[in-house]
Structure 1
């Protein structure tokens, strides 16, 4: 990584987020935690606030729409402008954002993933610190210290987190599993592959649904983390990472086997269709982040009755982590309005409403689980459990910066076509050697 250093990037020791880690107080966390950050300051700064995201479809759009309504009520002097760009888990949006930033036309605020993804913008001086906003919101008294560590570069925080997601979730259609005679959750990846075969033998044409390249990367990283465990997986993103190890090669072979049970996908296929295939009984399994919860609910499907979910099984209980956050771009035309937006998305009210709709869990620790879905309550419990090992997602920008993740996605896309394990290993090793420090 270039220039500035991101604290605790992709290291397991700093990723064990727990309730105990949330209770500490430092200088930045000793701000008045009772500050009503969601309360308008004289109606807001005024002017237009363009908010750039990739929340343009499904439950993500539903959550953003709810935020827009709340923001207009709480900051009536500000005018919200939805700049969402659809497709590719943000790949399309990130390409347009890069162009806008390069051309000196930043939005009011843009969505980014906590972790390595933000380094590209920080190194290019394209975002400003938001330390004062985090302090006003309550700092470490309401946000886990380890989460703030992941947002901290050279002593400064550059984004306000709005949600926590788990990427390595296997979603299933209960009726199709029953038809195949599957009555228990597998204990490892090999067992899951065996269940995929059972589903196929029962007459289901598509046991596993997938979308475009980024969903395939997410499937692969889920298998990889399950096989390697948290420490070895996290080490892949350090200077000593071994992308040509036996464990990586085994994971590639198992990933290749999983693809034999999947539908044919093109790069532009997004996640809602793949999730809908499970909800509609056209596929038995899909590996997706837990934003899928709201997608099932939007289709009127009931947890544990119509669908079920479990983390990709392996040697440890892995929580493949990502967090969406919002930034203060350098040179934005209305920084006061952007700061209003950041106060708002960091508030208790906004995070409660948004995460209930999106299927994620709040990063704030002062939000009750009451009113959240049964799945979300289980995710909250897992996230804080000492038995859970939390790692950073590749596909969603937490583990690696944008340039590295782009090369990994390119390698995954080629592998989808040629299924050549040696070529994929070589590409992954080359990317590591180019970017890891």
Structure 2
């Protein structure tokens, strides 16, 4: 993670209007403080764990992780401060208020990368964890490419608990078999498949955008598949123009894809789009692999038969990384419980309990692959050998730019005006420098 220009706390608070992912709850769920203690403390120590993990898969995973912590630290009262609603938008708003008031939770969920984690670091609200990494041997447990996403000026500020791949095309194997289709590796093939599916009355692409982030994720994947890794990284680093021919071409491809999507995408949450694919009402869906947790834990589908997967067109050999990380807030009165929890969070045992339930996988290089299903094993293989890139809205850009892109996307999915959208994105980059 490179040192960036400062981002205000107001910009971080603005993320409350952005629905973020990570196997969160259904967007329509009511907000909740979730302040139910998991265990009682004999010593008076308490640990508040703040996240947006309230969905079926993610809440089970968090409960299991807390169970491991309870076994090792039985004298700490754990308070699960998960906040439901908007797959993270409500949680972000609550967290911003608490941080500004100088009342941080013991630790909190955030995406690794150049997004809100960097904003909290720049605001002076996080403590470095270099000594913890040295003590636990984590400099060798995680790949350097991941540690770079958590490091500013040589100081590392967070511990990753999971790894998710954002450039995944999910598809219904029965539909593809029936019409002799193969997962598209190029956009030309995608549109050829889509035309066949549409002729047979099947929605080619299931899309959701109720959370106002899902379409941005799809566009980010299309952008990566259009311009390639080098230009994509240059764009996110502020070293390339956001009105370049590649950005225009990607936006044109995205607009064309919308013509093959379900018309009610603005009303659907991401799980509902996944369900359309699972039920055979749609053939494909582009989503991060938190969708795999939904397919397996919520719908009880078997990888390979109940659902299939492939890299999104043009992104073979690239891993679009989304990682949930936790750090050490700077204004805690007692940081010992947090440090102890981070030890469990980053441990092989903690991660191998957590990730199979959540539908994600452990980012540790020594993770036990036998604990994971066929999809996760394939994702783990890519993660270990392919270049990692960040994703807009999932840690890949500062809050101001992300918020502006999501706002422009909300208009773009309605009017399909490529020139207007590209102009808005370019203006967002100028107003919110990425370098």
Q: Report the TM range for the smaller structure's normalisation.
A: 0.7 to 0.9
Task: State the match for 1:216 in structure 2.
Answer: 215
Task: State the match for 1:190 in structure 2.
Answer: 188
Structure 2 CA distance for aligned equivalents of residues 91 and 45 of structure 1: 34
Following superposition of structure 1 onto structure 2, how do residues 12-23 of structure 1 map, counting pairs within 5 Å? none
Structure 2 CA distance for aligned equivalents of residues 266 and 100 of structure 1: 33
Structure 2 CA distance for aligned equivalents of residues 200 and 403 of structure 1: 38
Q: 1:332–1:268: structure 2 CA closer, same or farther, 3 Å change rule?
A: farther
User: Which sits farther off after the overlay, 139-148 or 85-94?
Assistant: 85-94
Task: State the match for 1:174 in structure 2.
Answer: 173
Following superposition of structure 1 onto structure 2, how do residues 38-437 of structure 1 map, counting pairs within 5 Å? 47-117=45-115, 118-179=117-178, 181-205=179-203, 207-212=205-210, 213-265=212-264, 269-298=268-297, 299-314=299-314, 316-385=316-385, 388-397=386-395, 399-434=396-431, 435-437=433-435
Structure 2 CA distance for aligned equivalents of residues 182 and 99 of structure 1: 53
Question: Is contact 2:145-2:388 (8 Å) kept?
Answer: no
Question: Is contact 1:87-1:270 (8 Å) kept?
Answer: no
Question: Is contact 1:238-1:436 (8 Å) kept?
Answer: yes
Q: 1:207–1:269: structure 2 CA closer, same or farther, 3 Å change rule?
A: closer
Query: Following TM superposition, by how much is the alpha carbon of 1:414 offset from its aligned partner in structure 2, in angstroms?
Result: 1.7
Runs of 4+ in 1 over 3 A off after TM superposition: 43-46, 264-270
Structure 2 CA distance for aligned equivalents of residues 414 and 207 of structure 1: 20
User: Which sits farther off after the overlay, 155-164 or 77-86?
Assistant: 77-86
Q: 1:44–1:224: structure 2 CA closer, same or farther, 3 Å change rule?
A: farther
Question: Is contact 2:318-2:382 (8 Å) kept?
Answer: no
Structure 2 CA distance for aligned equivalents of residues 96 and 267 of structure 1: 25
Q: 1:207–1:178: structure 2 CA closer, same or farther, 3 Å change rule?
A: farther
Question: Is contact 1:209-1:277 (8 Å) kept?
Answer: no
Query: Following TM superposition, by how much is the alpha carbon of 1:269 offset from its aligned partner in structure 2, in angstroms?
Result: 4.4
Structure 1 CA distance for aligned equivalents of residues 314 and 374 of structure 2: 23
Q: Please give the TM-score of this superposition, normalised by the length of structure 1.
A: 0.85
Structure 1 CA distance for aligned equivalents of residues 315 and 338 of structure 2: 44
SS of the aligned residue for 1:248 comes to helix
What per-residue deviation string (whole Å, max 9, x for no partner) do you get for residues 110-146 of structure 1?
1111111211101111111122222222132211122
Structure 2 CA distance for aligned equivalents of residues 294 and 376 of structure 1: 10
Question: Is contact 2:296-2:359 (8 Å) kept?
Answer: no
SS of the aligned residue for 1:48 comes to strand
Question: Is contact 1:200-1:207 (8 Å) kept?
Answer: no
Query: Following TM superposition, by how much is the alpha carbon of 1:88 offset from its aligned partner in structure 2, in angstroms?
Result: 3.8
Q: 1:268–1:47: structure 2 CA closer, same or farther, 3 Å change rule?
A: farther
SS of the aligned residue for 1:436 comes to coil
User: Which sits farther off after the overlay, 227-236 or 241-250?
Assistant: 241-250
What per-residue deviation string (whole Å, max 9, x for no partner) do you get for residues 296-323 of structure 1?
1121211121210000121652211121
What per-residue deviation string (whole Å, max 9, x for no partner) do you get for residues 270-301 of structure 1?
32222222222222111111121121112121
Q: 1:264–1:58: structure 2 CA closer, same or farther, 3 Å change rule?
A: farther
Q: 1:137–1:269: structure 2 CA closer, same or farther, 3 Å change rule?
A: farther
Structure 1 CA distance for aligned equivalents of residues 390 and 376 of structure 2: 19
Aligned Cα RMSD in Å? 2.1
Structure 2 CA distance for aligned equivalents of residues 138 and 45 of structure 1: 29
Question: Is contact 1:206-1:262 (8 Å) kept?
Answer: yes
Query: Following TM superposition, by how much is the alpha carbon of 1:183 offset from its aligned partner in structure 2, in angstroms?
Result: 2.7
Q: 1:272–1:389: structure 2 CA closer, same or farther, 3 Å change rule?
A: same
Question: Is contact 1:319-1:383 (8 Å) kept?
Answer: yes
SS of the aligned residue for 2:286 comes to strand
Question: Is contact 2:112-2:149 (8 Å) kept?
Answer: yes
Structure 2 CA distance for aligned equivalents of residues 115 and 270 of structure 1: 25
Query: Following TM superposition, by how much is the alpha carbon of 1:66 offset from its aligned partner in structure 2, in angstroms?
Result: 1.6
Question: Is contact 2:194-2:204 (8 Å) kept?
Answer: no
Query: Following TM superposition, by how much is the alpha carbon of 1:389 offset from its aligned partner in structure 2, in angstroms?
Result: 3.5
